[in-house]
Amino acid sequence: MLSYIVSRLLQSLVLLLLVSIIGFAVLNLAPGGPLSQYALTPGMTQETMDRIAHQMGLDRPLPIQYLDWIWRLLQGDWGKSYRDQLPVLQIISSHLFATLLLMGTSMVISIAVGTWIGVRGATKRYSIFDYTATVGAMVALSIPTFWFGLVAIYVFALRLKWLPAGNMYTVGDGSFMDYATHLILPSLVLALVDIAVWSRYMRTATLDVINQDFVRTARAKGLSERAVLMTHVLRNALIPMITLAGLQLPTILGGALVTETVFTWPGMGRLFLDSLGYHDYPVVMGLLMFSAILVLVGSLIADILVAFVDPRVRLG
């Protein structure tokens, strides 16, 4: 097991290096640059832009810029944002809480509800519940989040005035209840799609297990239907879900771009989009590396967990 983990980590380092090179090249080779946003400012001249580019070191050859960046990174310096000069790690961590809160809540909701719907749909296959869940999932998957978010705001914030129209908290309040009321709409909007995904996966996984011999054996032993479901079916059906959850880890931290925009939620998705828009390369590269690390760690954790849960799987 240990040697497996070590070799996986070494592979990951090579992968990270490749990601950084490709990411850096693609970002910098795309036309435009961090200064192009100032081009239409009154009185701005090419001369001024060239001078500032030189001061920022943007006129150096790309390989030199890359080596400079990676060398600093290896020493633990993630660089500073071109926009507000703050350290990249500080910027990422300042957006992390918002994203974790939103995505975490929505993931808990979607896994709980999705699992329940999936298992129930599989055990009562072709029932009205199953059909409703199937159609519902298709609808939920087809609705654009942006539109659904705006509709939810229109109904619950503008018409009924039950919930706030956006933001993570009321400035100056920030109590638990304040956060909670602000969290309801975005986390439900976000969870809607995930519930659909989880319920479909869960239904399939349960169906795979439910007709197998050991389930019949369990029933034959005289176990109650509930015990069969909980200890035999669910446990086995959840194994593929662990891999799925592991692969979802990076998307949690990547944030939900659309939901964050509609609900003005100050998370990582917004940060990524804004940083791209402003060609804030240090932050974009930081986010890229951060999420690459999460993908690798997430899949590693998932593999290890599966090995623990499923005795048939041997790592190494």
Partner 1 sequence: MSDNKNDVLTHPTRRQVMGQTLGLMALRASGVVFSGVPGFSQALAAGEKSIKGQLIISFSQEPTVFNPHMPHIEVDDGIHFSLFDPLFYVDPEGKFVAALAAEVPTVENGGISADGLTWKVKLREGVKWHDGAPFTAEDVKATFELLVNPDFRSWRKTGHDLIRDLKVVSPTEITWRMEKAFAPYPSILASTFITPKHLMSASADPNNAPFNNAPVGTGPFKWVERVAGDHITLEANADYFAEGPYVERLIYKYIPDLNVMYTQFKAGDIDVLGLQWITPDHYEEAKDLPGMTVSVVPAATVESFSFNMDRPQFKDPAVREALYAAIDKAAIIDALYYGLPAPTETYMPQQSFYYNPDLPKQAYDIDKAKELLDTAGWAPGPDGIRAKDGVKLAFTCSTTAGNHIREQVQQYIQQSFKDLGVEMSISNLPPAVMWGEYWMMSKFDTVIVGLNFLTGSDPDTSDYFRSTSIPAKGGAGQNTWQYANPEVDALLAKGGEVFVPEERKAAYAKVQEIMRKDLPFLPLFQYATVQGNKQGIEGINPNVNTRINTWNVGMWRRA
Residues that bind partner 1 (CB under 8 A): 30-33, 35-49, 52, 55-56, 80-81, 83-86, 91, 94-95, 98, 150, 153-154, 157-158, 164-168, 171-172, 261-264, 266-267, 270-271, 273-274, 277, 279
Instruction: Select 167 or 243, whichever has its Cβ closest to partner 1.
Output: 167
What is the distance between the alpha carbons of residues 300 and 315, in angstroms, rounded to a whole number? 11
Minimum separation from the CB atom of position 195 to partner 1 (A): 24
Instruction: Select 16 or 49, whichever has its Cβ closest to partner 1.
Output: 49
Query: 252 and 107 in contact (C-beta within 8 Å)?
Result: yes
What is the distance between the alpha carbons of residues 97 and 89, in angstroms, rounded to a whole number? 13
What is the CA 263 to chain-centroid distance, rounded?
Answer: 17
Instruction: Select 172 or 222, whichever has its Cβ closest to partner 1.
Output: 172
Minimum separation from the CB atom of position 65 to partner 1 (A): 17
DSSP class of residue 164 equals: -
Instruction: Select 133 or 153, whichever has its Cβ closest to partner 1.
Output: 153
Instruction: Select 241 or 268, whichever has its Cβ closest to partner 1.
Output: 268
What is the distance between the alpha carbons of residues 152 and 149, in angstroms, rounded to a whole number? 5
Query: 249 and 298 in contact (C-beta within 8 Å)?
Result: yes
What is the distance between the alpha carbons of residues 121 and 43, in angstroms, rounded to a whole number? 65
Q: Per residue in 98-127, is it b (16+ CB within 10 Å) or e — as a string? A: bbbbbbebbbebbbebbbebbbbbbbeeee
Instruction: Select 5 or 150, whichever has its Cβ closest to partner 1.
Output: 150
Residue 279, phi-psi category: left (phi > 0), alpha (psi -120 to 50), beta (remainder): left
Minimum separation from the CB atom of position 52 to partner 1 (A): 5
Minimum separation from the CB atom of position 155 to partner 1 (A): 12
Minimum separation from the CB atom of position 261 to partner 1 (A): 5
Minimum separation from the CB atom of position 303 to partner 1 (A): 34
Instruction: Select 174 or 316, whichever has its Cβ closest to partner 1.
Output: 174
Minimum separation from the CB atom of position 249 to partner 1 (A): 22
- CA 275, 277, 281, 286 dihedral sign is positive
